[in-house]
């Protein structure tokens, strides 16, 4: 199931990146902002009592920690010009 979705994701990005610089920036900004927001949300959700999100023993723990971490969040702020 994920392979067709991945193919669509790649095709869309390749198609969008054939455009002008603004199109490329929009594609990259969506990833930058989206990953940062999802990482933060997962961290916040995991701290709630009885949350279904668990960080401990989660196979995506590194991903969550990286994208919710200070370094990536600083990159998000740089990316949006904040």
Q: What is the pLDDT of residue 54?
A: 95
* pLDDT tens column, 15-54: 766 766 777 677 777 778 888 999 999 999 999 999 999 9
The 8-class DSSP code of residue 7 comes to H
pTM attached to this predicted model: 0.71
Q: What is the pLDDT of residue 15?
A: 73
Yes or no: say if 29 and 79 are a contact pair by the CB < 8 Å rule. Answer: yes
Residue 6, pLDDT above cutoff 90: no
* Number of continuous H segments (helices) and E segments (strands) in the chain: 4, 0
Structural domains in the chain (count): 1
Rounded Cα distance, 22 and 28, in Å = 10
Domain with 76 in it: 2-80
**CA Rg, the chain, in Å?**
15
The 8-class DSSP code of residue 6 comes to H
């Amino acid at each position: 199931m994920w392979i067709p979705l991945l193919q669509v994701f790649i095709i869309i990005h390749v198609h969008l990146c054939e455009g002008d610089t603004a199109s490329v920036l929009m594609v990259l900004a969506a990833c930058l902002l989206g990953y940062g927001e999802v990482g933060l949300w997962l961290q916040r959700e995991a701290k709630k009592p009885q949350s279904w999100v668990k960080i401990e023993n989660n196979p995506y723990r590194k991903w969550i920690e990286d994208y919710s971490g200070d370094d990536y969040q600083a990159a998000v702020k740089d990316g949006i010009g904040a």
